[in-house]
Amino acid sequence: MSMNEEKKEFRPLIVAFCCNWCSYAGADLAGSSRLSYPADVKIIRVPCSGRVNPMFILRAFERGADGVIICGCHPGDCHYSTGNYYARRRMALLFSMLEYMGIENGRTRVEWCSAAEGAKFSKTMNEFCEKVKSLGENVRLGDLRCKN
Amino acid sequence: MYSISKDNLNALYSAIAGSYDLFMPIKAAGQTNYGFWSEGAEGDIDTLKTIKSGKDAFFPQVEQLYTVNREIVPADVAAGPEAEKAADTPVRTKLKVNPVKLVDNDFVIFGMRACDVRAIEVMDNVFLTDPVDNYYKSRREHGIVVALACHEPEESCFCTIFDIDPADPSKAKADVATWVIDGKLYWKPITEKGEALTAKISSVFEDDADADSKIDGEKAYIEGIAKQLPNAELSLEGWGADKTDEKFKSEVWEKVYKGCLGCGTCTFVCPTCQCYDIKDYTTKDGIQRYRCWDSCMYSDFTLMAGGQNRQTQLQRFRQRFMHKLVYYPTNNDGMFMCVGCGRCVEKCPQSLNIVKVIKAFADNK
Amino acid sequence: MQKIGVFVCHCGTNIAATVDVKKVVELVRYEPGVVFADDYMYMCSEAGQEKIIEAIKEYGLTGLVICSCSPRMHEKTFRACAEKAGLNPYMVEVANIREQCSWIHKDKEEATKKAVILARAAIAKVNLNTPLQEGESPVTKRALVIGGGIAGIQTALDIADAGYEVDIVEKEPSIGGRMSQFDKTFPTLDCASCILTPKMVEVNQHPNITLYTYSEVEKVSGYVGNFDVDIRKKARSVDFGKCTGCGECQTKGPLGKIGNIPSEFDRGLKNRPAIYMPFAQAVPAVPVIDRENCTYFKTGKCGVCAKICPSKAVDYEQQDEIVTVKYGAIVVATGFDIINLDKYGEYAYNECPDVITSIELERLMNAAGPTGGHLERMSDHKAPKEIVFIQCVGSRCDDDKGKPYCSKVCCMYTAKHAMLIKDHWPDTNITVFYIDVRTPGKNFDEFYRRAVEQYHVNYIKGQVGKVKPQPDGSIIVQAADLLDGKQINKKCDMVVLAAAIEPNPGVRKIATMLTASIDNNNFLTEAHAKLRPVESPTAGIFLSGMAQGPKDIPETVSQAGAAAVKVVGLLAKDKLKTNPCTAQCDTLLCNGCSTCANVCPYGAITYEDVQVNDHGLRETRRVAQVNVALCQGCGACTSACPSGAMDLQGFSNRQITTEVDAICR
Amino acid sequence: MQELINRLKELIADGTVVRAIGWKKGDMPYNPEPAYFEKPEDFDDFVYDGFCGANLSKMMIEASKLEGKTAVCLKPCDTYSFNQLIREHRVVRENAYIIGVACRGKLDIEKARKEGIKGIKSVTGIDIEGDGEVVFDTIYGEKKMAYSDLMLDRCHVCKGKDHVIFDEVIGESKDTDDADRFEEVRKIEKMTPEERFAFFKSELSKCIRCNACRNVCPACSCRKCVFDGTKFDSQQKANVDSFEEKMFHIIRAFHVAGRCTDCGECSRVCPEGIPLHLFNRKFIKDIDDFYGEFQAGKDPEAQSPLTDFTFDDLEPKDAVGRGE
């Protein structure tokens, strides 16, 4: 069932992976503080940013996401001590590779956001949505079979 | 007999493409492969062997079969939760299957070598016998094959051992045979389909009175080279129909398979391999069911819930060659499932190939 | 195929005001797997939960999706509710349509669309959920404390007093640690041994405490609640049962009581014999023979101590002994040492006997120390009249020579030293070169101000460039006065270096054995810097004292108590419940490459050679094994694993992938 | 070569090893194949020349499981792969007797084909000891090429002539590097995003999903590749000119990042001539830039950069846009 019956303006599809301990809680705080951000953002809860396999990110792009953001505890604050350090390296390399392949910078982002940073979470999501919106639809990493 | 200057080939391609889809060797990113020609594409008929064979024309590597989506049945919705509760297995949605449209426009496969043309016959035996494969059949019916003689065969070629004549594609089951001689392409329609194609585009050709003598000269030249090829005398003795027991149990396999990586290079460049897998791809509009080439060299080939009938690379390796040289001939009046195009000879990462297998068995006697 | 029930909560108007709840119900009703969908005002209320339970029973639901507030709020509630109805609690997923939807979006249509998508993602996930069982593991009610300094002593006493058995392993012949070397303690200036010795004795006599001195941890295996530890009891060469601690043996050796071996306890300022007790109040009061330096062990001749021992306790034939003990918890209290000053040639420490470290000064001022408590220069045994203290020797360094951190205690003990010297020998002049004086702590700044104001200790903010011993025996300290901007050449006759402290060098080996993580400075890492400061990320391992970071005695003692409470809290349980959302290895896919073990912060992954049957192919393979008692479910291993063999229960690769697909659909 | 054969026979004869892995003469002058040798007569077909480019280290995975030791002939670059396989416990060091074989660069028959050389009957000048031109005797006459013009691209950026692990070395290797290893990567980095995308799209659209790159790669040593498994629902075989190949190649490169020794086998075996090493080399260059120089396989004890970290590592946002 297609939800986009009318295409007025381009609305990006954004997948956000949030670690359970900091960023997901930060998103909850943004919610309870009523700090809005676009509904384009859909959050997937993961235990730790270190759980985010690059496969998930590429999968999201393949299936039509226009932007993917990974949020985790600040370096040094990981609930599991070290998960975000590994995530940081993985994402640095992955993002650099995507750039190298000619994918627009700005479709991917990593942000460290604590459980107390509801405002930061909301601000980050607003910024990210704006950025991805300015880049337009993700054509280069999408699978044609998923397009209408 | 028609001819056209090689410098003018783009005019020929344009003329064909005006009425047909034109599928031919195209050079892109440094390699030549079959593809659909469009204005600006670099047609390449000088490269003897495209990397993949032309079999995509009839049996593309990936082909959608049909799509499936779910539809909500409104009646059940209207009945409401009470009615659902009453039913044992409430059916509220149903699957709708949408077949894809079969190919129904004529297209031209240009520049096929005699070996690849023979390979079509090999595939016909598989796809056009009962149960007929409609997807393949529709392509076969609409495809017009323009074959091209091999000006200078290469050392990996061994088509002659299968009685294929690289010098004279008119012997192969092509619709049109062509030769490139001294900067000119000579064009000779063979079948009705070929005549019809020729009639449509005849304005680009000139008549050439010397054609026959030129072609005879070219044939003699090619035949002369073909005789010098290192595998021109390769013997297929011991292979063919009904050799299953003898070959299957041979100890030679143990010796020849070791380097095999289990990749699918040989299979995917081969003009005769025709195994495929059927898979589903889920999209927001439903499931697309497609088929794609598969390779018996792959470890997950014919993997089933209960396991696998071929567990080791030796078994997989043996399967591929037994199929080509024993099983297929057994089921198809002795016809081999190899046309000697030599692509696997050139492309196997580990330099294993069907020629080495044949030789290894010959040496073992 | 699952039979999923979807329950959409209004949360009063919290959700319903922005999300068209009824529409969500209608739209998710036909998702694959869903057999029931309904909405309710307050899903978490008793009536709401009753509705869920009824539906589970009536429709035989195998999975639940609750579209409500954040799972951080009520996931537990709904899991318990499912369990009440006989459904595995891990078959519940919560779609967060309040905090992450209704509360942040204003447009009702948009919010409703998003709520549907979030619900679909949760439904897609539940379709792949499997029932998970919390595991149980037994707890050995005995604790091990590694290190017998004040941290270890206090931890052991607190655990023992709570009624649990505890063993202390101390590598030196006596417990007591660094604190036993100190003279007085700041800021109260009470005598260190007066407050420490009673505790040492208490440890020795406590019925719940077993002491392994002159012993080291050799091997650790197992996991929280069930550690197996090999302890090497080094041969003491003195029979514990026979020795009365009379001390006779230490008086008549080749060099009598003086000995010729630099005493570790007195930081080499004094010698000791080969058979020795480190200090008079040593616990246990049983000497050891230092075999490396003993004439008998070196040459086979001598044997004097054995001859004179009245109780025939000396036993040259004794062998190292390895005992294996089971523990439920392990506390690391390995303490600290000061850094080696070899790299600091500018301070002339190795060159001049009158340049000493603060800990050497402690010994020089101690009545039981090498000089009987008389402060004197080691070169000519004269009393120093002009003393310079240099702070931050190797602390707060930004180069590779020293340590980047502040050693925390130096400012205070230097003020203490200055005052003590001034108290005893008022005519001594004292200058302190410092970078910053740091005195946070109860009564600390008052203490420092007393040194400056009452005792007139000369504090100069400045960095010392060079310490130059002079031919006449004096020492010139070259420094820059940062406040006056002047170069200073200070003549003095003694220099005391506040050398940086560092974790005991042996801690690295111990941390490796325990798979407890350590930071770049070899300090043990806490499970959480703020919220779990006395626990290691490795379950069942606790931290006490300087091994975790620089701290003073009161802090050490309080941390020791905190660690003890954590240990007691663990030992008080008969069984440990284990988180079922743990990593799991598919042995048929595992390559045994160890990549996952390299990123596991808990040491939960080990490798074993197992017999596998891979679709009929039988072979022995090295594969990863997850110890679910240790695994905390972070999933770092799953992203590191190239083949996908390592997966996380509850957040599996396929579950997350299907959520992605559902959202992008 | 004879010295090598003699030594291998000797090792088998004296019981040091049970078998040897080396190269067997092909039916063409340029297509020797990796093979096992056990009996003295097996060595009649043994060959080691310029066309023996295959990296045999990965064959030790299976050979490690066999009874008794296996002698394996490794070129200098192959020894890096072997070290990496040791680190990952995929080979058993004790079961291998490593003969470091000399190398003066390996040859690429495609280079000759590009020059129009065909109908090859025999080739000379490809011996391991020689240093002259390569002469092709073909049906169409004699053709010559300079040895280095015929060399695989990877040999022009050779890591060095030293074996990093071996039991013995036979012969003298030569330095062949005369190009900058990261030059191609830099060239791409300097392109505009549109150019980069167009470049990779045209290269990857040639991919036929044959998996040769993966199956030959010593770092891709998974028993079952994630793309053959069901754990991510990524078991696709389609070759579609939109995403699958990209996903496959990005993930493959990512999975070997920090483990890839840059042996260049992927590019050597690609039937479509896709410069796959450009992915791996990009990761290598980034790792060097971000986390300090790292050569996988140099030290089997060294921690891979992706299973390691420092507290002040580069942030992902700073990993991109560096060229701007």
Nearest to A92 among D200, D244, D316 (CB): D316
Q: Are the CB atoms for C488 and C462 separated by under 8 Å?
A: yes
- Average pLDDT of D221-239? 82
Asked if the C-beta of C619 comes within 8 angstroms of chain D's C-beta atoms, the answer is yes
Crossing angle for the helix pair D244-256 and D193-204, to the nearest 10 degrees = 100
Question: Phi then psi for A108, rounded to 5 degrees?
Answer: -125, 150
CATH number for the region A14-141 comes to 3.40.50
Nearest to C653 among D231, D304, D307 (CB): D231
CA D320 to CA D324: how far, in whole Å?
9
Beta-carbon contacts of B36 under 8 Å, excluding residues fewer than 6 positions away, are B21, B22, B23
- How confident is residue B81, by pLDDT bands cut at 50, 70 and 90? low
Question: Phi then psi for A41, rounded to 5 degrees?
Answer: -85, 125
Q: Which of B287-291, B325-329, C210-214, D10-14 has the lowest mean pLDDT?
A: B287-291
Q: What does the domain layout of chain D look like in residue ranges? A: 1-108+157-177, 180-324
Tell me, yes or no, whether B133 and B189 share the same domain: yes
pLDDT in tens, C607-637: 999 999 887 788 899 999 999 888 989 999 9
Q: Are the CB atoms for D78 and D264 separated by under 8 Å?
A: no
Tell me, yes or no, whether B267 and B331 share the same domain: yes
Helix (H, G, I), strand (E, B) or coil at B118: helix
Domain assignment present for B234: no
Beta strands in C69-214 (DSSP E): 92-96, 135-138, 142-146, 165-169, 184-185, 190-191, 209-212
- How confident is residue A1, by pLDDT bands cut at 50, 70 and 90? very low
Beta strands in C100-259 (DSSP E): 135-138, 142-146, 165-169, 184-185, 190-191, 209-212, 215-223, 226-233
Tell me, yes or no, whether B90 and B70 share the same domain: yes
Q: Do A142 and D287 touch (CB under 8 A)?
A: no
Domain assignment present for B189: yes
Closest residue in chain D to residue A104, using alpha carbons only: D193
Q: Do C661 and B282 touch (CB under 8 A)?
A: yes
CA C512 to CA C406: how far, in whole Å?
25
Sort out which chain C residues have CB atoms less than 8 A from B281's CB and list them.
none
pLDDT in tens, C30-63: 888 999 999 999 999 999 999 999 999 999 999 9
Reported as type and span, the H/E element at residue C5 is: strand C4-9
pLDDT of residue B271 exceeding 90, the answer is yes
CA C596 to CA D307: how far, in whole Å?
8
- Average pLDDT of chain B is 91
In this complex, which chains have at least 3 CB pairs below 8 Å with chain B? Answer: A, C, D
CA B85 to CA D256: how far, in whole Å?
53
Domain assignment present for B239: no
Asked if the C-beta of C435 comes within 8 angstroms of chain D's C-beta atoms, the answer is no
Closest-CA distance, B173 to chain D, in angstroms, reads: 27
- Average pLDDT of chain C is 93
pLDDT in tens, C485-507: 999 999 999 999 999 999 999 99
pLDDT in tens, C354-406: 999 999 999 999 999 999 999 999 999 999 999 999 999 999 998 888 999 99
What is the CB-side half-sphere exposure of residue D257 using CA atoms within 13 A?
Answer: 32
Helix (H, G, I), strand (E, B) or coil at D242: coil
Q: Do C663 and A15 touch (CB under 8 A)?
A: yes
Tell me, yes or no, whether B357 and B252 share the same domain: yes
**Any alpha helices (H) in chain B, and if so which ranges?**
9-19, 74-86, 114-127, 134-142, 192-201, 211-228, 244-248, 252-256, 265-269, 313-322, 328-331, 343-347, 354-363
Return the exposure string of B180-189: e unless at least 16 CB atoms fall within 10 Å of the residue's CB, then b.
bbeebbbbbb
Tell me, yes or no, whether B80 and B122 share the same domain: no
In this complex, which chains have at least 3 CB pairs below 8 Å with chain C? Answer: A, B, D
Alpha-carbon separation of residue C206 from A74, C160, C409, C537 (angstroms): 45, 8, 31, 30
Give the alpha-carbon dihedral of C204, C209, C212, C213, to 10 degrees: -30
Asked if the C-beta of C640 comes within 8 angstroms of chain A's C-beta atoms, the answer is yes
Domain assignment present for B166: yes
Tokens of C514: 């325990």
Q: Are the CB atoms for C106 and C93 separated by under 8 Å?
A: no
Q: Do D286 and A93 touch (CB under 8 A)?
A: yes
pLDDT of residue D241 exceeding 70, the answer is no
pLDDT of residue B331 exceeding 90, the answer is yes
Q: What does the domain layout of chain A look like in residue ranges? A: 14-141
What domains sit in chain C, N to C, each tagged with a CATH number?
4-128 (3.40.50.960), 143-233+324-335+504-571 (3.50.50.60), 241-319 (no CATH), 339-500 (3.50.50.60), 579-649 (3.30.70.3270)
Tell me, yes or no, whether B248 and B219 share the same domain: no
Beta-carbon contacts of C54 under 8 Å, excluding residues fewer than 6 positions away, are none
Tell me, yes or no, whether B215 and B266 share the same domain: no
Q: Which of B235-249, C86-100, C351-365 has the lowest mean pLDDT?
A: B235-249
Segments forming the whole domain that contains residue B338: 244-363
pLDDT at C11: 96
- How confident is residue B284, by pLDDT bands cut at 50, 70 and 90? confident
Tell me, yes or no, whether B182 and B267 share the same domain: no
pLDDT at C256: 63
3-state helix, strand, coil in chain C (%, to 5): 30, 25, 45
Number of alpha helices (DSSP H) and beta strands (DSSP E) in chain C: 16, 33
Tell me, yes or no, whether B124 and B16 share the same domain: yes
Tell me, yes or no, whether B289 and B215 share the same domain: no
pLDDT at C247: 86
pLDDT in tens, B98-133: 999 999 999 999 999 999 999 999 999 999 999 999
Q: Are the CB atoms for C111 and C18 separated by under 8 Å?
A: yes
CA B122 to CA B273: how far, in whole Å?
9
pLDDT in tens, A51-75: 999 999 999 999 999 999 999 999 8
CA C520 to CA C511: how far, in whole Å?
13
Sort out which chain D residues have CB atoms less than 8 A from B351's CB and list them.
26, 31-33
Determine which of D93, D224, D243 to mutate to test the interface with C (most C C-beta atoms within 10 Å): D224
Write the single-letter amino acid at B305.
Answer: A
Q: Do B92 and C617 touch (CB under 8 A)?
A: no
Domain total of chain B:
3
Tell me, yes or no, whether B143 and B290 share the same domain: no
- What are the DSSP calls for D149-215, one per residue? GGB-GGGGG---S--SS-SEEES-------S-TTHHHHHHHTS-HHHHHHHHHHHHTT-----HHHH
3-state helix, strand, coil in chain A (%, to 5): 40, 15, 45
Note which residues in 88-107 of chain C have CB less than 8 A from chain B: none
Asked if the C-beta of C197 comes within 8 angstroms of chain D's C-beta atoms, the answer is no
What number of C-beta contacts closer than 8 Å exist between B and C?
Answer: 21
Tell me, yes or no, whether B273 and B288 share the same domain: yes
Reported as type and span, the H/E element at residue C296 is: helix C295-299
- Average pLDDT of D67-74? 96
Asked if the C-beta of C54 comes within 8 angstroms of chain B's C-beta atoms, the answer is no
pLDDT at B88: 44
Q: Are the CB atoms for A7 and A60 separated by under 8 Å?
A: no
pLDDT of residue C548 exceeding 80, the answer is yes
